[in-house]
Structure 1
């Protein structure tokens, strides 16, 4: 069921459509991407203000769509009830299953191609703040991509017909590029750019508030340093240096959805309304129920459906939040060479409180799970972070880094009782890009996933 045929829309009108609505939904496997036949980055002389809304909205669709669904099934925050979702619940995910997320969602005519076009356009037009915002969004999304797959195209990507077979950069190289993107963005966002053209209503994340973009950039930098803690423990200290300049209490980078018509409804609502082959049962619900965690009432509808917090027509997709940043702080203080359990416990308690306020606007339950310097553990931090980041792709990264929570593979698992550690490369890349690594197993560890 296609909701709208993009073939009938003029090339000029496509930018307006993407800028105001994001991606279009259909009932097919790749329904958040189906029907997008033109790439706005290939339109003649695109300007940053025309590209930015679609980049942000499309990011929300991807983070709250395919990326969220696969990860939530792997991490037992949801359970497959029928069709492909049953297979994904058992870790039987094929290269075809991830093809749309890669080709239409991230590469091809997807988010990162358009982001690259926006950065290039902004640089050409000397609109430094737009370029900086583009770099933050690129870091956010190439970071997600490499965390899902490992080695991915970047340095030779986004060139269209000039290079249809880009090389794959190593994850180590990708992380260096992420750090450079964020460093450059932080410098640019902290200074005037001399342009009369500044983000405003076209900025669907922060409404042109550059200080919030700056804090988002610092928060992302802390997150990506955290990922590399097992590679080099000094990365925990680097993350801690970013946190004071990160999100303020209550702040999030959230993609909002109007919810007034089907194309503007939040991805999880669309999926449940059209497909309904995922049930909201499993490990997370059992553990929250056993702990009488009040967030369960907004995570679940009580009848194996998704609750109102993330399951309504206009629910936000949270890319990152203040509470996540405080969980990062708690882990870094505990894991760094000069361990500080007191600071870790303080940050942990603040993180739990902040998440309760964000989700149910009542922090009373925080006292039930509070910790001190004498009893704080990594399991405490990561268990609460797993609950706080419900349906966020970051929970898979956290589990691979720490092994928390202690999940058991479901009966009939395709991986012999193990849990997946990366996605297979998509079928389109395997066919069309000779540089694509050969698929081996979803048990393949990415570079930062140190045993």
Structure 2
């Protein structure tokens, strides 16, 4: 019998376990006893409807947790004030630091493992729409994983004891797999599946609205095509074809939190409440202040704390939004040709307006930063997108692709004058998976990050 102290489990990890499985049995005197309790009420073969809520909630804790914190520190949307956050702010992130996000969050008993189980269960039960929703979530989280690390396990992952050391697929292969997942999901969501079992209250993103899931899938596809634009410029055209079928004005893929107790509080609120070693100061606040940007009042509390929009117990985690989609459109038009600058400016202005409405419900500032075909630049698009996607991991992908904003490495940076371009592989993978690439440097570029 293995005795595992609850004190050895991080509170975030515990939340992930609760959110993902909902199967924690009773414990005594602060300990979990593994294998001693056989609760007949436990789900031995969980059905898709029992897995989906935990997959969505856990996605929020990864996107709004470690992924958001590391990226916000790298991209100077936050600043380390104490402990490990100071090191991360100076780009000194160790394999141990990212192990929990990888093992407990994404792989292991985490999100993608459960999503894989959900897809298989849905296929077995002929619940096609549940399988499609699972494929959208797998594409979303697999995309995050590969964008953080590059080559990652997928084709041999999630096999349990059958494959204990899965191979690492190249990022090019991962992107092909993501596109296949989204293509299959789009086809399924656009048709009836003949099943009486459909997502509903268990769907914490869209409450069973399959049309919104379909638009989310198209929006994700546009984003991932954009990432590949420097590899092959035809990807800009592919992204533009997806955008008309993507999010409608005002729509977001947002994970909501009730904020009433620890497992239902937003991840940034939890972190600040429990750790408080990050200050909300730095480049983005200085630049927004200089520009008299009204969003600063909801991003910051004015005293180096996180503002109410994302810092409250019930603040959402936004995976993707209509305004992000319009920024994608603006960049694609801009990158294609000079004669597309009018379309680029129109999409940019719409993106800024949409973000202002989403964040402060007042679009009057849009006129201050509005652009035309004659004066729009890539720096305009990416600088406003950097502000709009506050605390979203996507800002790191944007910076690596474009170099905007022009950030300067902080004094004492572990990477000299450079900024990080990928995470080191986690310590657990280095120890236990002989297929794990050897860590070299956080300056290693991922596949789509070409000079």
Is the shorter-chain TM-score for this pair beyond 0.5, marking a shared fold?
A: yes
What is the CA-CA distance between 1:417 and the residue it aligns to? Answer: 1.0
Distance 1:410 1:436 in 2: 30
Distance 1:60 1:289 in 2: 29
Whether contact under 8 Å (2:21, 2:51) holds in the other structure is no
Q: Runs of 4 or more off by more than 3 Å in structure 1? A: 1-43
Distance 1:351 1:257 in 2: 26
Whether contact under 8 Å (1:19, 1:52) holds in the other structure is no
Matches within 5 A, 1:376-387: 376-387=376-387
What is the CA-CA distance between 1:44 and the residue it aligns to? Answer: 2.4
Whether contact under 8 Å (2:6, 2:32) holds in the other structure is no
Distance 2:367 2:31 in 1: 43
Whether contact under 8 Å (2:219, 2:325) holds in the other structure is yes
Distance 1:38 1:379 in 2: 59
Whether contact under 8 Å (1:2, 1:26) holds in the other structure is no
What is the CA-CA distance between 1:25 and the residue it aligns to? Answer: 17
Whether contact under 8 Å (2:269, 2:313) holds in the other structure is yes
SS class of match (1:40): coil
Distance 1:136 1:33 in 2: 35
Provide closer, same or farther for how the CA distance between residues 51 and 432 of structure 1 changes in structure 2, counting only shifts above 3 A: same
SS class of match (1:240): helix
User: Could you report, residue by residue, the CA deviation over 1:110-141 in whole angstroms, capped at 9, with x for unpaired residues?
Assistant: 00000000000000000000000000000000
Whether contact under 8 Å (2:19, 2:263) holds in the other structure is no
Whether contact under 8 Å (2:25, 2:39) holds in the other structure is no
Whether contact under 8 Å (1:41, 1:118) holds in the other structure is no
Tell me which moved more, 165-174 or 33-42.
Answer: 33-42
User: Could you report, residue by residue, the CA deviation over 1:275-327 in whole angstroms, capped at 9, with x for unpaired residues?
Assistant: 00000000000000000000000000000000000000000000000000000
Whether contact under 8 Å (1:231, 1:448) holds in the other structure is yes
What is the CA-CA distance between 1:336 and the residue it aligns to? Answer: 1.6
User: Could you report, residue by residue, the CA deviation over 1:221-253 in whole angstroms, capped at 9, with x for unpaired residues?
Assistant: 000000000000000000000000000000000
For normalisation by structure 1, the TM-score amounts to 0.93
Distance 1:419 1:204 in 2: 36
Aligned length in residues: 451
What is the CA-CA distance between 1:23 and the residue it aligns to? Answer: 11
Distance 2:12 2:311 in 1: 33
User: Could you report, residue by residue, the CA deviation over 1:360-386 in whole angstroms, capped at 9, with x for unpaired residues?
Assistant: 000000000000000011000000000
SS class of match (1:320): strand
Whether contact under 8 Å (1:136, 1:185) holds in the other structure is yes
Whether contact under 8 Å (2:16, 2:104) holds in the other structure is no
Whether contact under 8 Å (1:128, 1:188) holds in the other structure is yes
What is the CA-CA distance between 1:416 and the residue it aligns to? Answer: 1.0
What is the CA-CA distance between 1:50 and the residue it aligns to? Answer: 0.2
Provide closer, same or farther for how the CA distance between residues 12 and 442 of structure 1 changes in structure 2, counting only shifts above 3 A: closer
Distance 1:133 1:104 in 2: 22
What is the CA-CA distance between 1:193 and the residue it aligns to? Answer: 0.2
Distance 2:40 2:249 in 1: 36
Provide closer, same or farther for how the CA distance between residues 229 and 31 of structure 1 changes in structure 2, counting only shifts above 3 A: farther
SS class of match (2:410): coil
What is the CA-CA distance between 1:18 and the residue it aligns to? Answer: 4.0
Provide closer, same or farther for how the CA distance between residues 39 and 130 of structure 1 changes in structure 2, counting only shifts above 3 A: farther
User: Could you report, residue by residue, the CA deviation over 1:246-284 in whole angstroms, capped at 9, with x for unpaired residues?
Assistant: 000000000000000122100000000000000000000
Distance 1:70 1:245 in 2: 32
Whether contact under 8 Å (1:38, 1:109) holds in the other structure is no
Provide closer, same or farther for how the CA distance between residues 375 and 7 of structure 1 changes in structure 2, counting only shifts above 3 A: closer
Q: Alpha carbon RMSD of aligned pairs, Å?
A: 4.6
Q: Which residue of 1 aligns with 2:310?
A: 310
Provide closer, same or farther for how the CA distance between residues 10 and 106 of structure 1 changes in structure 2, counting only shifts above 3 A: closer
Distance 1:28 1:68 in 2: 34
What is the CA-CA distance between 1:157 and the residue it aligns to? Answer: 0.1
What is the CA-CA distance between 1:88 and the residue it aligns to? Answer: 0.0
Provide closer, same or farther for how the CA distance between residues 275 and 442 of structure 1 changes in structure 2, counting only shifts above 3 A: same
Matches within 5 A, 1:27-46: 44-46=44-46
Q: Which residue of 2 aligns with 1:66?
A: 66
Distance 2:431 2:321 in 1: 38
Distance 2:380 2:173 in 1: 32
Provide closer, same or farther for how the CA distance between residues 23 and 299 of structure 1 changes in structure 2, counting only shifts above 3 A: farther
What is the CA-CA distance between 1:411 and the residue it aligns to? Answer: 0.2
Provide closer, same or farther for how the CA distance between residues 39 and 15 of structure 1 changes in structure 2, counting only shifts above 3 A: farther
Provide closer, same or farther for how the CA distance between residues 411 and 160 of structure 1 changes in structure 2, counting only shifts above 3 A: same
